[in-house]
Amino acid sequence: MDDVPKVVVFKLASNEYCLRVTGVREVLKLQDITSIPNTPDYIVGVTNIRGEIMPIIDLRRKLNLFEDLGDEGIDEKLVMVVEIDGVPIGILVDSVSDVMQISAEQIEDIEGIKKNASGEYIEGIAKIGNRLIIILDIKNLIDPQEF
């Protein structure tokens, strides 16, 4: 894996994850969501952010995390707006804690983990002090062609 320049660190359930800053446009308080029928369960719906309609993804469901967001507490979440191949997509997160630099020396090899079903979404795991931060590969995680 190449050097990870700057990343945005966020929490989902009790774990820390991060995305490269270059893919993140902004972080906002969650606004009204309109449900879309017959979509995968991890697509919560769509929202209008400053005149731009975009899908909202629940990463808990996409990553098969056991703590499902459900409908309660959804108003407490933040939306991290990412851009993938020019398509804006909102990702629900619990909180955003840091924007930081991660060096190649801080990233652990995860080849064993990549063999499981969700491993293709993970670029690596950063060890920073006592923290383990999962580095997500946003382009493998979300396909803008789904929308």
pLDDT (0 to 100) of residue 64: 82
pLDDT (0 to 100) of residue 70: 54
pLDDT (0 to 100) of residue 116: 58
pLDDT (0 to 100) of residue 139: 86
Domains of the chain: 4-146 (2.40.50.180)
> Cα(100)–Cα(42) distance, rounded to whole angstroms?
28
Q: Which residues of 43-72 are buried (b: 16+ CB within 10 A; e: fewer)?
A: bbbbbebeeeebbbbbbbbbbebeeebeee
pLDDT tens digits for the chain (147 residues)?
Answer: 555 579 999 999 889 999 988 889 999 998 899 999 999 989 999 999 999 999 999 988 888 886 655 555 555 789 999 999 889 999 999 999 999 999 988 988 776 665 555 667 888 899 999 999 999 988 888 887 776
Return the structure tokens found at 22. 């270059």
Q: Are 13 and 20 in contact (CB under 8 A)?
A: no
Q: What angle do CA 33, 36, 38 make, to 5 degrees?
A: 150
pLDDT (0 to 100) of residue 34: 95
Q: Are 145 and 27 in contact (CB under 8 A)?
A: no
